[in-house]
Structure 1
Amino acid sequence: MKYDKEKRHGVTNFGFVTNLRTFVQEVNELLNTDEREYRAHELNAVVDDFTENGKVIYKNKFGKITTSENALYAIFELGKKDKLGESIIAYYQRPRIEKNWTGIHFTTTKELEKEIKDNLMFRLGDIQFQNWQDGLQFLEDLKTKCIPEKWDYKSHQSGLPHPILKAYIENTFEKLKAENDGVKILRSDDGKYIVFNSGLLDKFFHEIFIIVHIVKEGDDLYYRDPYILSSLTDLGKIGFNVDSKRIVKQDDLPEPATFFTNINEVIFHPDIDIDRNYDKFTHIIEERRERFPMEDRDRDTTELARKLDNSINYAIAIAKRNYKLVVPMYRPQEKKIQLLMPIYLSGSFTKSPDFALVLDLEHGIYTPETILPLDAAYQNARLITKPDELWLNPDDI
Structure 2
Amino acid sequence: MGTIKKEVFLGRRDAYNSKLEYLAKMAQEEPWTFKSIAQEDPYRILRNYFQFTYDRLYEEKKIMFSDDQDFSCINTGLLTKYDRDIIAIFSRSQDDKLLPWRLVGFYHDGEKYFKERFSATPEMADYFTDVSEIIYDKKIQIDLNIEHIIDDNIGRFQQAGYGDKQLIHALMRAAIEQIKKKLSRNFKLAAPFYYHNTETGERKIQLLIPLYFPGAPVRLALVLDKVKYPQREPYYMAITVLPIEWAYMNARLIVKPDPEWTKIIEEIGAGGGEIEFA
| Superposed pair shares fold, TM > 0.5 | yes
- 2:130 corresponds to: 262
Distance 1:140 1:392, change over 3 A: closer
CA distance in 1, matches of 2:7, 2:224: 28
- 1:228 corresponds to: 106
Question: Which sections of structure 2, spanning at least 5 residues, go unmatched?
Answer: 229-233, 269-278
Q: 1:207 aligns with which of 74, 81, 85?
A: 85
Q: Is the 8 A contact 2:248 2:261 kept in 1?
A: no
Q: Is the 8 A contact 2:33 2:41 kept in 1?
A: no
- 1:272 corresponds to: 140
CA distance in 2, matches of 1:336, 1:370: 15
- 1:198 corresponds to: 76
1:253 to 2:121 alignment: yes
1:395 to 2:273 alignment: no
Distance 1:125 1:378, change over 3 A: farther
CA distance in 2, matches of 1:131, 1:295: 33
Distance 1:340 1:299, change over 3 A: same
Deviations 1:244-265 (A, max 9, x none): xxxx43xx21121123332311
Q: Is the 8 A contact 1:172 1:383 kept in 2?
A: yes
Amino acid at match of 1:253: T
More displaced 10-residue stretch of structure 1: 218-227 or 361-370: 218-227
Distance 1:321 1:128, change over 3 A: same
Amino acid at match of 1:290: G
- 1:322 corresponds to: 186
CA distance in 1, matches of 2:182, 2:106: 42
Question: Which sections of structure 1, spanning at least 5 residues, go unmatched?
Answer: 1-122, 241-247
1:381 to 2:257 alignment: no
Amino acid at match of 2:236: Y
Deviations 1:186-240 (A, max 9, x none): 1123433211111111122211111112338769963322312365543576xx4
- 1:171 corresponds to: 52
Q: Is the 8 A contact 1:125 1:171 kept in 2?
A: no
1:285 to 2:156 alignment: no
Amino acid at match of 2:184: K
CA distance in 1, matches of 2:136, 2:190: 6
Q: Is the 8 A contact 1:374 1:392 kept in 2?
A: no
Q: 2:208 aligns with which of 323, 329, 340?
A: 340
Structure 2 counterparts to residues 1-397 of structure 1, below 5 A: 127-155=8-36, 159-179=40-60, 182=61, 184-215=62-93, 222-229=100-107, 233-235=112-114, 240=117, 248-249=118-119, 252-277=120-145, 281-282=147-148, 284-292=149-157, 297-300=162-165, 303-331=167-195, 335-346=203-214, 348=215, 352-363=217-228, 364-393=234-263, 394-397=265-268
Amino acid at match of 1:227: G
CA distance in 1, matches of 2:205, 2:94: 34
Percent of pairs identical after alignment? 31
- 2:274 corresponds to: none
CA RMSD of aligned residues (A): 3.0
Structure with max Cα Rg = 1
CA distance in 1, matches of 2:93, 2:157: 44
Amino acid at match of 1:313: E
Once the two structures are TM-superposed, the CA of residue 289 in structure 1 deviates from its matched residue by: 2.1
Deviations 1:328-379 (A, max 9, x none): 2334556432211111233x5xx53231101111212212232122221111
Q: Is the 8 A contact 1:266 1:337 kept in 2?
A: yes
Q: Is the 8 A contact 1:156 1:375 kept in 2?
A: no
